[in-house]
Amino acid sequence: MLQIVIPAFNEECRLPRTLRELRRHVATHRGVLGRVEVLVVDNASTDRTAEVAREADSAALPVRVIRCDRQGKGAAVRAGLLATDADLVCFMDADGATGLDAIENAWRRIVLGADVVIGSRGLAESDTEARHCRTRSAGAAAYRRLAGRLTPGIVDTQCGFKFFRGALVRAVVADLRTAGFSFDVELLVLLRAAGAQIEEMPVSWVDVPGSTFGPARHGAGAFAELARIAWRRRELVRPVPGRVAVVGVRSPMPLPGAAALSAGSWSNR
């Protein structure tokens, strides 16, 4: 069984399309994936996010809604992952920015021995389409440099698609403290400290309009979170060497400008 966690804050407009496409995709690939359940984490939304998620529940694709009142995408993902009980789990963004073929690709890599598979827009084989903004691009580049010091060998920490062995990620995410945008970095630091074999794979990714992220409003908080993660990293067991596999060649093109800070659409209020 596979459980897919979708954190959502005020996503009543984009979430229905994502769930429809996911239901069609799962039906087409049922022979590979088997039973699939979606856990939508309503992160204190003020719109109909929870209602539209419940309306999408069906026998073909069960959808369960979990409430998380602690603000921030990291808090929502943590709550969703801890609510899972499947052998295989993943999380993806409510906007459906990452192509759904990533699900089968990651599933196969787990079967072949990986513990964690993360989508990467920074590999040459990835197909990305983004709206560019000079301010976001500059901030994203600085963020990637700092995040890279905490997760050496990983090209893109912030892609909103990650796939895990369930028991492993539940044990690790229980110790996750970062509630905001930088939670991905802390999660990867914790996984490496636990000796997890992490693989990075290329994905197709489209910047879906509707993001509420603003560099001036949210950027400083994301950098502050990195500083706290760096301090905490010193307390962790030294990661097992040679356990990160970057599957592919680093792309010569820059990552989508907003991606390193927003990791999709989110408002870190």
Residue pair 194/172 in contact (Cβ under 8 Å)? The answer is yes
* 269 in a structural domain: no
Distance CA 237, CA 226 (A): 18
Give the domain range for residue 248.
2-262
* 159 in a structural domain: yes
pLDDT confidence of residue 221: 84
* 268 in a structural domain: no
* 267 in a structural domain: no
Mean pLDDT of each 10-residue bin along the chain, 269 residues long:
97 97 97 96 97 97 98 96 98 97 97 97 90 61 90 95 98 96 96 96 89 57 91 68 46 41 39
For residue 143, give the amino acid letter: Y
- Burial track 127-166 (b if 16+ CB lie within 10 A, e otherwise): ebebeeeeebbebbeebbebbeebbeebbbbbbbbbbbbb
Provide the β-strand partners of residue 198.
116, 244
* 93 in a structural domain: yes
pLDDT confidence of residue 106: 98
* 250 in a structural domain: yes
Distance CA 191, CA 183 (A): 12
Domains: count for the chain: 1
* 111 in a structural domain: yes
Give the CATH number of the domain where residue 224 resides: 3.90.550.10
pLDDT confidence of residue 265: 39
pLDDT confidence of residue 104: 97
The pTM of this model reads 0.86
* 245 in a structural domain: yes
